[in-house]
Structure 1
Amino acid sequence: MKTLAEIAPFVRLALPWSYIGEAAEGTRVGYAYAFHLFTEGRGHVLVEGTTYAVEKGALLFIRPGQVHSFHHQPGFAMESYNAYCDFWEKPTALNPRFAFHPAPPEPSLMTRIEGCPELDSLPTKCSLTPYPYLVELFMQVSKSFESAHYAQQITGSLMQAFLLRWYNSFTSPNPSDYRILRITEEMERHPERQTSYEQWCEKCNLEKSHFYKLFKKETGMTPKEYLLKMKMKKAIVLLQESRQSITSIADQLGYDSIHYFSKQFSAFYGISPSRFRSETTI
């Protein structure tokens, strides 16, 4: 069995596309792994007899050999970024990407398929709206496809990074609500900021009680607990990778007192900041 880390993507083609009801959008079978990130439009995609509604931010992952077709709602072209990939070996020739109905698919043209439980666990459809960094990363695959130099290496590396980060976002207990995700990302970037509950609620456009319940549901922690976790995470980095004094680090993290910082650090990690630094710094 393989893991996602063993995948070495070769991107056959990556490009923006508009689905407007052309014949090529009808029933077909793909020879490669296909990804479709929709940025505009309305409609649905039929994959192996299952209908998946299309909306902005929807990602469709279609495996080799799956029968599928695209259906836009009249008056609403479906805009997407598409990527067609081989995962386990680079093809010796640029083979066709599809077999179109009613022609049967040619087995010899199918990309190599390996057993990979992590890849198999990824959904056929999901929304990337809560993950703007994944949207940008995937779009960069298409934008880099026509690079003047090292296009194959760039797109392959970007596609691998996308797959690994997508898998992490899908399997890790990160917030899925975009309002809470926005707050947790801000806490991680700037744990030193003295932001009040009222300001967090205003950014989420939620009542205080609703914000508190939703935050805890999404993260398993209260906002204060999550913020403390981010402060302690940054404290570790500063203690290991900077020569700042502990007083300076406490001040940088928004503490008025080095004693309170040391107390929280010791309670969180079971060791004082000074002892941690002496034991982990060469």
Structure 2
Amino acid sequence: MRIAERRWTWGEAVNEVPEFVMLGHDDLLRAMPLVDHAHPGCYEFVFIERGKASWEVGDERFDTQAGDVFHSRPDEIHRGGFHVIEPCKFWWLIIREPNPRDWLRLTEAENRDLAETMSALPRVQHAGFQPLEAFRGLRYALESGMNLRSMAVRQAIQQLLLQITVPYSGDIAIASDLLGQFDRLIRRMETEPEWRPTVEQLAESVGISVSHFHRTFRAYTGFPPTAFMERQRHKQACRLLSETKEPITDIAFSLGYPSSQHFATVFKRFYGLTPTQWRSRSYSR
């Protein structure tokens, strides 16, 4: 019987980013055993995307819910509460502890300040939903094989550390049932990039006002609804251009653009390259 129905991990080394060790994402439908373990010389950060989970360090127990970040320190033995993780959806990042020299290409003073901040960080920090897009961006950078991938990975880690250590103070509480509705919409946006609903239609589909939908969706994803949908189309466009030989016109129509010219204009505005240039670079690697 499968315990973790949806699991993704990336533990391969990234050139020029020795600080990165592993990134993972779990969507647990059943409780999963998590016994005593430690990460030598590394911090682990766990971000709860949906649901609740508890953690134990020594004799202390820490409860987390959506928007919270739990962390363990280098060499520290920790485990799930009662040696399990409850059904929930979460991300986890393992990185090497800061050192005084050139860590994540930061200055010596920045490294020192970050090391002090991380050592004094509360065991559980409420970061809101701002880190979610950074986790997704880090995953995309790892999987894409893009040019300057090491820079994208490094910047995503820096962004996450900032959002965790200096959390967004304007976070909005979002009901758990609404989070489930948002996840449903996001899955459709990912699988049907040609889908182009209005914000009014999206709000109506989850039964809330347009203003409340716009505000809570942005708090959850880090982007306004229309910008988020456009980013999903961009990601799908990059995948199709890099992994297939479909004509660019066909790709444009499959993503819901009225013409290949319009697609090229939007794509270049976002990436600085035309679709043809992007495809040429992908095949030349």
Point out which structure has higher relative CO (alpha carbons under 8 A, 6+ apart).
1
Band the TM-score falls in, shorter-chain normalisation: 0.3 to 0.5
TM-score normalised by structure 1 residue count: 0.43
Higher Rg of the two aligned structures: 1
TM-score by length of structure 2 reads: 0.43
